[in-house]
Amino acid sequence: MGRYVIKRVLQAVGVLWAAFTLSFVVLYLLPGDPVAIAAGSSTDATVDPAAIAEMRTRYGLDQPLWSQYWTALTHAVRGDFGHSISTGQTVTGALGEALPSTLALAGLGSLLAVIGGVGLAVAAAYTQRGWLRGLLTALPPIGASMPGFWVGLLLLQLFSFQLRWAPAFGGKGLGGTILPAITLALPVGAAIAQVLYASLISTWRQPFVEVAFAKGASRWWVQVRHVLRPASGPALTVAGLWAGTVLAGSVVTETVFSRPGVGRLMQQAVLFQDIPVVQGVVVLAALLFVTVNLVIDLTYPILDPRVVHRNSVEERAHA
């Protein structure tokens, strides 16, 4: 078990380093000068070349690329991503201001996705009515195929402009978060429902299910007590993979609903090629991804102890 945990932690660290390095390379390969863009956006007058040179020196952009990378990496390890080129604010300060709104949106969206996806899959696997099962299993593909921006605009039109049940733009509290949370939850819940349903159906065919029925257990008790737990592993994996898309999805969702947050911050940073802010958001998204997946990896042995056994057998086979 200890070797399993160490392996997963080292993999998480490797993903964070790869995300930082890849974002650094891509951002510096983009055409354009972020300092010139920032200086040009702050004034209508002709930009003094000396001022641009001073800004490049201040942000270390006059150094060789390897030196910039090493400086950025060593500072990032300490949680320091520098200052925004366009605003001068510290990146950690900008993320600290934007993060609470996005976390509230992501938290509510994830909760709705899990409740909706698990509930739909369990209901579809439990029912013995063919027409109802067909209806329930048709819903996830529909939900997964609908673009997020289209869903957001549809919800705005119906619940904000027509029914006036929720504020249209920039709302706070539960009323202002529920519509963007539904928009963010729809594709995640659809993916969870599809994978969990397939896993539930496969688990229903296992021999231990017949043994449970032979002992006099009801169909609902067998599903909840014996089937759901071993079948939840693939759904957990899907949920972990989707965790990395929460910030990416928030860019579209927060833009449609005019909500402040990390998504809007990322949008502005990309627009102005604000390298420190973009890197801060990328590392934050990677940290969210590896943390959620690390927790899921450590949960697998609890749900199915055979996971650790299989990993040990594979390691011995490759030794």
Q: What is the CATH number of the domain that holds 238?
A: 1.10.3720.10
Looking at the fold, whether 2 and 127 belong to one and the same domain comes out as: no
Helix, strand and coil content of the chain, in percent to the nearest 5, comes to: 80, 0, 20
Looking at the fold, whether 121 and 267 belong to one and the same domain comes out as: yes
Looking at the fold, whether 179 and 69 belong to one and the same domain comes out as: no
- Band (pLDDT 50/70/90 cuts) for residue 98 is confident
Task: Give Dmax over CA atoms of the chain in angstroms.
Answer: 84
The mean pLDDT value for 282-305 works out to 75
The mean pLDDT value for 177-187 works out to 87
The HSE-up count of residue 174 (CA atoms within 13 Å, CB side) is 1
Q: Hey, is 198 helix, strand or coil?
A: helix
pLDDT exceeding 90 applies to what percent of the chain? 3
- Band (pLDDT 50/70/90 cuts) for residue 170 is low
Q: CB–CB of 311/267 below 8 Å? A: no
Looking at the fold, whether 16 and 137 belong to one and the same domain comes out as: no
pLDDT value at residue 120? 92
Between 179 and 41, the more confident residue is 179
Domain membership flag for residue 292: no
Average pLDDT, the chain: 79
Domain holding 65, by residue range, is 1-86+305-319
Domain membership flag for residue 78: yes
Looking at the fold, whether 27 and 149 belong to one and the same domain comes out as: no
Non-local CB neighbours of 261 within 8 Å, separated by 6+ positions: 98, 99, 101, 102, 105, 250, 254
Looking at the fold, whether 225 and 156 belong to one and the same domain comes out as: yes
The mean pLDDT value for 45-67 works out to 73
Domain membership flag for residue 170: yes
Tell me the C-alpha distance between 262 and 319, whole Å: 45
Q: CB–CB of 294/15 below 8 Å? A: no
Domain membership flag for residue 285: no
The mean pLDDT value for 58-78 works out to 82
pLDDT value at residue 58? 74
Looking at the fold, whether 213 and 315 belong to one and the same domain comes out as: no
- Per the structure, how many domains does the chain have? 2
- 3-state secondary structure string across 124-151: HHHCCCHHHHHHHHHHHHHHHHCCHHHH
Looking at the fold, whether 112 and 45 belong to one and the same domain comes out as: no
Domain membership flag for residue 296: no
Looking at the fold, whether 108 and 198 belong to one and the same domain comes out as: yes
Task: Give tens-digit pLDDT for 107-144.
Answer: 888 889 889 999 999 999 888 888 998 999 999 888 88
- Band (pLDDT 50/70/90 cuts) for residue 72 is confident
Q: Hey, is 113 helix, strand or coil?
A: helix
pTM for the predicted model, two decimal places:
0.72
Which residue from 274, 277, 270, 268 is spatially nearest to 55, judged by alpha carbons?
Answer: 274
Domain membership flag for residue 283: no
Tell me the C-alpha distance between 314 and 129, whole Å: 42
- Band (pLDDT 50/70/90 cuts) for residue 305 is low
Between 64 and 313, the more confident residue is 64
- Which of 53-57, 145-149, 156-160, 224-228 is least confident? 53-57
Looking at the fold, whether 101 and 73 belong to one and the same domain comes out as: no
Tell me the C-alpha distance between 291 and 285, whole Å: 10
Q: CB–CB of 35/275 below 8 Å? A: no
pLDDT value at residue 43? 47
Task: Give tens-digit pLDDT for 226-247.
Answer: 788 778 877 777 777 776 666 6
Looking at the fold, whether 102 and 6 belong to one and the same domain comes out as: no
Domain membership flag for residue 277: no
Looking at the fold, whether 81 and 99 belong to one and the same domain comes out as: no
